[in-house]
Amino acid sequence: MKKRTHLLTHTLIPLALAGVLLPITLLLPWLRVVGEEGFVFARTGINLLLFDRGILRMLPLAIGAGVALVLSLTLARPTRMAVRLLVVAFAASLMSGIYLLLSAKPTADASGLLPAPMMVRDLQFGFWLFLVIALAGLALALMTLRQPTTYIILTAMAAIWLLPIFWLLITSFRAESGAYTTYIIPKGWTADNYVRLWTETEQFNFPRWYLNTLVVAIITCILTTTLVLMVSYAFSRLRFPSRRLFMNLGLIVAMFPGFMSMIAVYHILKAVGLAKSLVSLILVYTGGGVLGYTIAKGFFDTIPRSLDEAATIDGATRNTIFWKIILPSSKPIVVYSAITSFIAPWVDFVFVSVIMKDDYANYTVALGLYRMLEREHIYAYFTRFCAGAVMVALPITLLFIKIQKFYVEGVTGGAVKG
Amino acid sequence: MVQQTITRTGAPKRGFFRELAHIYRHGDGATKLSFLLMGVGCIRRGQILKGLMYLACQVLFIWYIIEFAWQYLSKLNTLGTTGMQRVWSEERQLFVRTPGDNSLLILLFSVMSLLLLAAFIGLWRASLRSCYKAQVLSQQGKKLPTFAEDLRTLGNERFHMTLLTMPSLMVIAFTVLPTVFMVLLAFTNFDANHQPPGNMFTWVGLENFRNLFGAKPMMGNTFAKVLGWTFIWAVIATFSNYILGMLVAIFINNRGIKLKGMWRTIFVITIAVPQFVSLMLMSQILHEQGPLNSLLMQLGFVEQPVKFLTDITSARITVLVVNLWVGIPYTMLITSGILMNIPKDLYESASIDGASPMRMFFSITLPYMLFVTTPYLITAFVGNINNFNVIFLLTRGGPLVTEYYQAGKTDLLVTWLYRLTVDRQDYSLASTIGIFVFLISAGLSLIVFNLSGSSRREEEFQ
């Protein structure tokens, strides 16, 4: 309690300063106007706020006065209630400042007050000072209340991270065609993009690609998971000559950039007559996925050895131990392996493009969507690309959220628990 | 128990030649004959099926070499001498194309045959071993394991063979073979002017390496500049993501923060959306006519669209910033678990001593995190050196400049490598670059491996 009162008095002086400065900035120059005769004069905030007589424009003024009012209360008796009021006042000031910033151009241009289209750089230091003081005041007031200012930062960040995805989502329902629009929110809404994506198949056969990817993903998933479990069990539990050699070879080979060997893989597949087929994709993804056995091996390493030993004494072979002891206790890692290997074919577009070349019928969704954004298609297909991206991203996002815990353990090599 | 007696044959297990020499010295006639005809020793002792299988393998391999592999292996030293030719055909009265040597297939099948040869030598040794075991056992008057018994060991003593055969074959076919092939390409002149089947390529020794190191100034210059940018990119991208991601994790893990799960899920969603989707989306948003530019213009922030991805400096800044957008949630997810493991009493005593949050971050959190996550940090660094997606999907390596050899100002070594192979068919140069990327990655990973010591701890876990 003592600490709180201390903080209250500690931040009161800067708070008071902010509260007094806020209304004063309204008298400082806010907007630079270049007249027809070429002379420059500054407009004060009050002038600017009144220039289209809108009621909202009056807000900063009212808030500024309000802040001063609340401030006098605070100075008289520093209570939590008074500081809370201050938070509200500063927050409202900040909001109206931001609103002014974003709406200045349309309003100024519409008012006909300025000879040339307004730019944000025409706003003068009075305005910027207003914004900075409102922000600082809000932060100070929140600190005084010992409220985590983190919420504000987190909200802002969440917005930055979610807005692009949100834009993808709303664009997939946009009725207007074309790639780029000069506005964010679509003028008309439709589910047509989804319908056409699934039904118009002459040029871009999305249903076919989706089915291709699904088939490849399911088979890859089964094969990779089986092979990964086999390899991990062998390396984790069995001791045999040249075990280290094999593990090190796997490590070294995995370090060569994959793009380097793509061309060779293509020729190998061509030599055995599998190029441009879905089977080749399954083989390539499985071959690549097997090298990712280390996470499963790390998991097996943590299963106590004494279990195996007890079973061996009871006469179990290693084959039985694998099926009866190891496999039942490794459900999480089976799920992890299955989901990661299932996701791989959905997100790869490089290997597919090298293997399939121009064989459109055997594309997977990732490559197909990539093609939609090429210069000659983007205008007609952009909204459908968004719809397709949603169709791909949705299931994968759900699956990923399910495995995120293992994902962390895998990446950090099990260093993280909890 | 059978297995126990079988393994004690007296032959030294270590050393390929020592073991063979021992078997040769102590082997009887049938075992000695097995050196030439695989499995004869086994047949002689009554393990007929097993012996016949060895013999069949030998016959098959010799047939493979004569019928298929020799035509390629014999040309491995030159990679082909006669190119495709047009020969006048009397009967058809026109020029007929005769296919010449295909350097690519010669190299590819030679590598494959050499790998098969290595496998065959392994099989040969295994057959000799098993013949010698059979000999020792019968000399000791013990019962030989039947074929069924041998098969049964695949489920127990030799279970690793059962488990590893298929995966090894997959990895050899789709990773080892292509990698060896591409490494060898670095010593050839396989480029757009030497494209099989029309033209041949051949061995050029270290010429590609010399070119990269200045024999061809433009190539050498490009290599140095791209390598430089790759390192700058990797350092900035890794550390900015690390510090900022950790800050976000700290924000979310703050004791006062409610709805921790919700905040975390918001960021996890952006990782979960496939990278190619979110990055293509970003490249559209940042396009010159994209929504961000039109918004900025409408609000009066700029008069001309900002060239986020087409101007050299801003493209470099943009890829780094977008990489933050991609990477921060990722680091947040990784570090939040470790953050929770930091002993709470460290913070409590620090706050009693009156340390500010800033001070606590730099004196407690950061050192602790750096200590625990150094391996992750280096792995992330290697990942960023090979960060194909971010660069390729945003700028495709551009803006391209004429002073570079087939590269752009945001190109990393891997994206340059990709362009050289897929767009330019300049395979030999690409392979040379690939070897350098490998050396960098392998060197750094070696450090991680030693630091983490997970190899040493492996046995302790169990």
Kindly tell me the burial class for residue B262, based on how many C-beta atoms sit within 10 Å of its own C-beta (0-12, 13-18, 19 or more).
exposed
Structure-token match 């050289």, residue found: B420
Alpha-carbon distance of B337 to A417, in angstroms, equals 7
Q: Are A318 and A238 in contact (CB under 8 A)?
A: yes
Give mean pLDDT, residues B24-38: 85
For tokens 């002017």, what's the residue? B193
Q: Is there a contact between B437 and A257 if contact means CB atoms under 8 Å apart? A: yes
C-beta of residue A60 within 8 angstroms of C-beta of residue A45: yes
CATH of domain A196-411: 1.10.3720.10
Q: Where are the beta strands (DSSP E) in A20-93?
A: 29-34, 40-44
Residue-wise pLDDT tens digits, B83-105: 767 777 777 777 777 777 788 88
Residue among B162, B273, B385, B449 with most chain A CBs within 10 A, to mutate: B273
Closest CA to A151 of B258, B267, B357, B264: B258
The size of the A-B interface in CB pairs under 8 A is: 284
**The CA-based dihedral angle spanning residues A233, A239, A242, A244, taken in that order and rounded to the nearest 10 degrees:** 70
Q: Do A238 and B462 touch (CB under 8 A)?
A: no
For B:331-350, CB contacts with A below 8 A are 333-334, 337-338, 340-341
pLDDT at B36 over 50: yes
The whole-number pLDDT of residue A416 equals 41
What does the pLDDT read at residue A355? 85
Which residue is listed with tokens 């090429």? A374
Closest to B186 (Cα-Cα) out of B431, B433, B434, B436: B431
- Segments of chain B assigned to CATH 1.10.3720.10: 207-454
Cβ(A350)–Cβ(B388) below 8 Å: yes
pLDDT at res. B3: 40
The contacts of residue A130 (CB under 8 Å, 6+ apart) are A22, A25, A26, A30, A45, A60, A93, A97
Residues of A in contact with B417 (CB under 8 A): 257, 259-260
- C-beta neighbour count of A100 within 10 angstroms: 22
Torsion of CA B176, B181, B183, B189, to 10 degrees: -170
pLDDT given for residue A233 in this prediction: 87
Across A179-183, B182-186, B257-261, B444-448, which has the greatest mean pLDDT? B182-186
Tokens read off for A227: 């092979």
For B169-184, the pLDDT digits (tens) are: 888 888 888 889 888 9
Beta-carbon-side half-sphere exposure of residue A166 (alpha carbons within 13 Å):
9
How close A125 comes to chain B (CA, Å)? 16
Q: Does B206 touch chain A (CB under 8 A)?
A: no
Task: Give pLDDT, residue B2.
Answer: 37
Distance CA B229, CA B243 (A): 21
Q: What is the pLDDT of residue B407?
A: 83
Closest CA to A125 of A56, A27, A34: A27
pLDDT at B49 over 70: yes
* Cross-chain CB nearest to A411 (options B257, B295, B376): B376
Rounded distance between C-alpha atoms, residue B64 and residue B57, angstroms: 10
Q: What is the DSSP string of B86-144?
A: EEEETTTTEEEEE----HHHHHHHHHHHHHHHHHHHHHHHHHHHHHHHHHHHHHTTPPP
Residue B228 pLDDT level (bands cut at 50, 70, 90) = very high
Count Cα neighbours of A153 within 13 Å in the Cβ-side half-sphere.
15
Nearest to A318 among B159, B271, B438 (CB): B159
Compute the distance between CA of residue B110 and CA of residue B119 in angstroms, rounded to an integer.
14
Q: Which amino acid is at A198?
A: W
Q: Model pTM?
A: 0.81
d(CA B40, CA B23): 14
Tokens linked to A408: 């962390």
Q: Is A259 on the interface with B (CB under 8 A)?
A: yes
A285 interfacial to chain B (CB closer than 8 Å): no
Residue that has been written with the tokens 């194909």 in this structure? B388
Tell me whether B109 touches chain A (CB under 8 Å). yes
Number of CB atoms found within 10 A of residue B353's CB: 8
- Residues of chain B contacting A389 with CB distance shorter than 8 Å: 277, 280-281
The top-level CATH class assigned to B207-454 is: mainly alpha
SS3 content of chain B, % helix, strand, coil (to 5): 70, 5, 25
Is B178 within 8 Å of A268 when comparing Cβ atoms? yes
The domain spans of chain A are: 2-147, 196-411
Of B321 and A54, the structure prediction assigns the larger pLDDT to B321
> Is pLDDT larger for residue A201 or for residue B393?
B393
Interchain contact A112–B (C-beta under 8 A): no
Q: Is pLDDT of B120 > 80?
A: yes
B126 touches chain A (CB under 8 A): no
| pLDDT value for B201 | 83
Chain A stretch 115-154, residues whose beta carbon is closer than 8 A to a beta carbon of chain B: 117-120, 122, 148, 150-151, 153-154
Confidence of residue B236 (pLDDT cuts 50, 70, 90): very high
Neighbours of A35 (CB within 10 A): 10
State the pLDDT at residue B231. Answer: 92
pLDDT value for A56? 62
Check if the beta carbon of residue B330 is closer than 8 Å to that of residue B324. no
What DSSP string describes B346-408? HHHHHHHTT--HHHHIIIIIHHHHHHHHHHHHHHHHHHHHT-HHHHHHHTTT-SB-TTSSS-B
Measured in angstroms, the CA of B402 and the nearest CA of chain A are apart by 23
- Give the pLDDT means over successive 10-residue stretches in chain A (418 positions): 54 76 78 59 67 63 74 68 79 83 76 72 82 85 72 85 88 82 79 86 86 92 91 86 82 79 84 84 88 81 82 84 84 84 87 84 87 83 88 86 72 48
- pLDDT score, position B462: 44
Per the CB < 8 Å rule, is A180 touching B431? no
